Amino acid sequence: MSYFDAASSAPLHPVARQALLASLDEGWADPARLYREGRRARLLLDAAREAAAEAVGCRPDELVFTPSGTHAVHTGIAGALAGRRRVGDHLIVSAVEHSSVLHSAEAHESGGGSVTRIPVLRTGAVEAAAYERGLRADTALACLQSANHEVGTEQPVAAVADACRAAGVPLLVDAAQSLPWRPVEGDWSLLTGSAHKWGGPSGVGLLAVRKGVRFAPGGPADEREAGRSPGYENIPAIVASAAALRAVRAEAAAEAARLRELTERIRARVPKLVPDVEVVGDPVRRLPGVVTFSCLYVDGETLLHELDRAGFSVSSGSSCTSSTLTPSHVLKAMGVLSEGNVRVSLPAGTPAEEVERFLDVLPGVVAAVRETLGASAGASGAAATGAGAAGTGAAGTGAAGAPAGGGDGLVVDALGRRCPIPVIELAKAIGDVPVGGTVRVLADDEAARLDIPAWCEMRGQEYVGEEPADRGSAYLVRRVS
């Protein structure tokens, strides 16, 4: 089995395993006590804090350990906002932040605060100038991830930090994805991370707050972790996490170059091996081990199951792998195709042979999924007749090919159908109208709002726009060629 989902959680590093087992014997006592066992536990905790602070690039007394990366984000945002409440209640986040940041922003907004969400380019990157324009006199905090968790795009943290510093606004950086590779550049104010992203045990996060940053911890006072993360420290897990971070950093330069070559191989070859694929994310400014692509005419959940059966564990931002049936907020913000989305995130040590086997298996898996959905004609660009499109579609969209009111083109009725059916039926119907003619797709699947424009861009057709309908929406497409 090939595990290709390190961006979700990296396998436990061998050094972390050794440190965890050793500290279970040595670090079980209360580090706040003065007797021998307590002093031994305190030495282990202090050494772990120093190692983590060195990797982060901060002072040991600026860093605390938390029960998770999400807890670190929530604590960091709430504490910074509370510490600067006299300045104002305005928060800035990017549209592609991790859900922990966006949930904090929603909670802040529901409590009466104001939030500005900075849009991103099609690569998934923000523009530093957009953050600078978003800064206001009442801005209490800005947040920006160092690298995106779904597409691997690295963000211009240093430039945004400079703009925030000039405005006197602290910047919180979610560095969960990039910390295994290097310290975060720039004059940031707060930083968070999560140990299971770099091969430490789960249940350990870190929060760094620079000296001079106004910070007001919420909740009842607690004497542990500077009052910022209440509760008894899990010393064995903390020690193992710090050991893993130090170990992966020692290997980072060589491993980054090797993984970057492997993901570049995937980026270059997948579009040649599989028709109608969009590789997403910045091609240059990206994490070494992450590559993401989306396949037209593919049910994302089925694709992931079939890849799992073939021996590959991958992730997806497709709406059809989500219980909410909405596309990933990251892909949506980027304006890229969401259906049939696959994220490959290679853990350290991935052999090149496993990547080659993935490239050998993927085309057949995608073709089989498309065949199951009746998408062969759509995927190849062949056009079915109006009646055929209605009768052979996987969902049996009975109104496909029916003239629209006023005789202005074809209507594809995909109401009640989930991705990728609306796009499959559009692909089948587009050949039934003359060049310059239109197809109106009726759909109530949220993913259609993203995938139909993305299909038009990929296939060289004109996306005219979205119109209200009695149910769902009508998406108008004009045939260009």
Q: What is the pLDDT of residues 258-317, one digit of tens each?
A: 999 999 999 999 999 999 999 999 999 999 999 999 999 998 889 999 999 999 999 988
Distance of CA 223 to the CA centre of its chain: 35
SS3 6: coil
Per-residue pLDDT at 338:
87
Placement of tokens 């963000």 in the chain: 155
Going by C-beta distance under 8 Å and a sequence separation of 6 or more, which residues neighbour residue 406?
none
Per-residue pLDDT at 320:
65
How crowded is residue 308: how many other Cβ atoms within 10 Å of its Cβ?
Answer: 12
Can the peptide bond before residue 420 be classed as cis, meaning omega within 30 degrees of 0? yes
Torsions phi, psi of 158, nearest 5? Answer: -60, -45
CB 20 within 8 A of CB 328: no
Average pLDDT of 210-218?
94
Least confident of 68-72, 241-245, 385-389, 397-401: 385-389
Handedness of CA 305, 311, 313, 317 (dihedral sign): negative
Long-range contacts of 262-268 (CB under 8 A, 24+ apart): 262/289, 262/346, 262/350, 262/352, 262/355, 263/152, 263/288, 263/289, 263/290, 263/291, 263/344, 263/346, 265/355, 265/359, 266/291, 266/293, 266/344, 266/355, 266/358, 266/359, 267/291, 267/293
Rounded Cα gap, residues 320 and 343, in angstroms: 14
**What is the H or E stretch that residue 450 is in?**
helix 448-459
- In the predicted model, is pLDDT for residue 357 greater than 80? yes
Catalytic residue among 143, 295, 320, 456: 320
For the chain, where do the domains classified as CATH 3.90.1150.10 start and end? 253-372
Percentage with pLDDT > 90 across the chain: 78
Average pLDDT of 82-94?
97
Per-residue pLDDT at 413:
94
Average pLDDT of 357-386?
74
CATH number attached to the domain at 253-372: 3.90.1150.10
Average pLDDT of 162-184?
97
Rounded Cα gap, residues 423 and 413, in angstroms: 11
How crowded is residue 45: how many other Cβ atoms within 10 Å of its Cβ?
Answer: 21
Per-residue pLDDT at 226:
85
Q: Quick one: 132 exposed, middle or buried, by C-beta within 10 A (0-12, 13-18, 19+)? A: middle
- In the predicted model, is pLDDT for residue 324 greater than 80? no
Q: What's the 3-state SS for 463-479?
A: EEEEEECCCCEEEEEEC
Measured between alpha carbons, how far apart are the two ends of the chain, in Å?
44
Per-residue pLDDT at 224:
87
**What is the H or E stretch that residue 192 is in?**
strand 190-194
CATH topology of domain 381-478: Translation Initiation Factor IF3 (3.30.110)
For the chain, where do the domains classified as CATH 3.40.640.10 start and end? 2-248
Average per-residue pLDDT for the chain: 90
Per-residue pLDDT at 419:
84
**Predicted confidence band of residue 384 (pLDDT cuts 50, 70, 90):** very low
Q: Quick one: 274 exposed, middle or buried, by C-beta within 10 A (0-12, 13-18, 19+)? A: buried
How crowded is residue 272: how many other Cβ atoms within 10 Å of its Cβ?
Answer: 10
Per-residue pLDDT at 406:
36
CA distances from 415 to 135, 302, 429 (A): 42, 21, 16
Q: At what angle do helices 69-83 and 99-110 cross, to 10 degrees?
A: 40
CATH topology of domain 2-248: Aspartate Aminotransferase; domain 2 (3.40.640)
Alpha helices in 211-299 (DSSP H): 235-273
Amino acid (1-letter code) at residue 331: L
Rounded Cα gap, residues 342 and 345, in angstroms: 10
Q: Quick one: 382 exposed, middle or buried, by C-beta within 10 A (0-12, 13-18, 19+)? A: exposed
**164 labelled catalytic:** no
Give tens-digit pLDDT for 225-244: 888 888 899 999 999 999 99
Per-residue pLDDT at 381:
45
Per-residue pLDDT at 389:
33
Torsions phi, psi of 476, nearest 5? Answer: -100, 130
Cross-strand bridge partners of residue 115? 91
> What is the pTM for the complete model shown?
0.88
Give tens-digit pLDDT for 428-469: 899 889 999 999 999 998 889 889 998 998 889 999 999 999
* Nearest partner of 48 among 202, 324, 235, judged by Cα: 235
Torsions phi, psi of 124, nearest 5? Answer: 95, 0
Least confident of 39-43, 56-60, 245-249, 443-447: 443-447
Rounded Cα gap, residues 187 and 378, in angstroms: 50
For the chain, where do the domains classified as CATH 3.30.110.40 start and end? 381-478
Average pLDDT of 414-429?
90
**What is the H or E stretch that residue 280 is in?**
strand 277-280
Rounded Cα gap, residues 5 and 9, in angstroms: 7
Average pLDDT of 390-398?
35
SS3 149: coil
**Predicted confidence band of residue 35 (pLDDT cuts 50, 70, 90):** very high
Torsions phi, psi of 170, nearest 5? Answer: -70, 150
